[in-house]
Amino acid sequence: MSITRTLLIDADDTLWENNIYYERVIAEFVAALGQHGVPAHRAHETLWETEMRNVKITGYGSNAFCQSLHEVARELGVTDLELQISQWENFILHHPIELMTGVRETIPRLHACNRLILLSKGRDDEQLGKLRRSGLEPYFHVTEIVFDKTVATYQSLIANHRLTPSETWMIGNSPRSDINPAKAAGLGTVFIPYHTTWQHEVEEINADGGETLVLETFAQLADHFIKEIP
């Protein structure tokens, strides 16, 4: 059987939990600022503004996020959280990988009849470390860690890996990063919504462009992308 189809698969909050760790740290950070008299809404607002300013320069991942925490604390006049912030960074960087439901069973089956490419934003060392710890590394033909996921990102992946758009699907939890730009580049898309998605990644799915499958779980990919070998 020759493999003609390629599945580009997002990692964070598609293969494994990610946003929950950030939410946990944000809750503790806001509580710590609260002890210095900073109202929670002010802490959240300042963090959001700081992250939106920084993300264009620093990109994604725990280090970029914690740089923003340092900046917010300084801006709000709180100076004794330096050590705590580096402990939070360490926590996000080294937590054990918790795979999403059905991933462990489904990835090997998808691998058997599709070319799988991992496509993730963030820092190489952090994302590759998670992939190694997940035990899923052997199932990916290629791993691409990118600064951002824009239409241009997808277009260059198509060119670099000689992908045929009509036989290539992008699978992920973020409309902003995984679905809309991939659709604009002519790929099929599979949206697997997750209950906690970073506000920055939330947007409406464009009606234009190729088909978007919406699935409830990762395991349902098996209904669409596994050809039984006769």
Residues that bind Mg ion (CB under 5 A): 10, 12-13, 173-174
CB 196 within 8 Å of CB 219: no
Q: Which is nearer to Mg ion, 175 or 209 (CB)?
A: 175
Minimum distance, C-beta of residue 77 to Mg ion, in the bound complex (Å): 34
Per-residue burial over 28-50, b if 16 or more Cβ lie within 10 Å, else e, is ebbebbeeeebeeeebeebbeeb
Minimum distance, C-beta of residue 118 to Mg ion, in the bound complex (Å): 11
Residues in the chain: 230
Q: Which is nearer to Mg ion, 45 or 124 (CB)?
A: 124
User: Measuring CA to CA, which residue among 148, 224, 212, 142 is closest to residue 184?
Assistant: 212
Minimum distance, C-beta of residue 14 to Mg ion, in the bound complex (Å): 5
Q: Which is nearer to Mg ion, 12 or 144 (CB)?
A: 12
Beta strands in the chain (DSSP E): 6-9, 115-121, 142-146, 168-172, 188-191, 212-214
Minimum distance, C-beta of residue 53 to Mg ion, in the bound complex (Å): 22
Minimum distance, C-beta of residue 31 to Mg ion, in the bound complex (Å): 26
Q: Which is nearer to Mg ion, 13 or 89 (CB)?
A: 13
Q: Which is nearer to Mg ion, 10 or 144 (CB)?
A: 10
Residue with tokens 């590394």: 137
Distance CA 45, CA 40 (A): 9
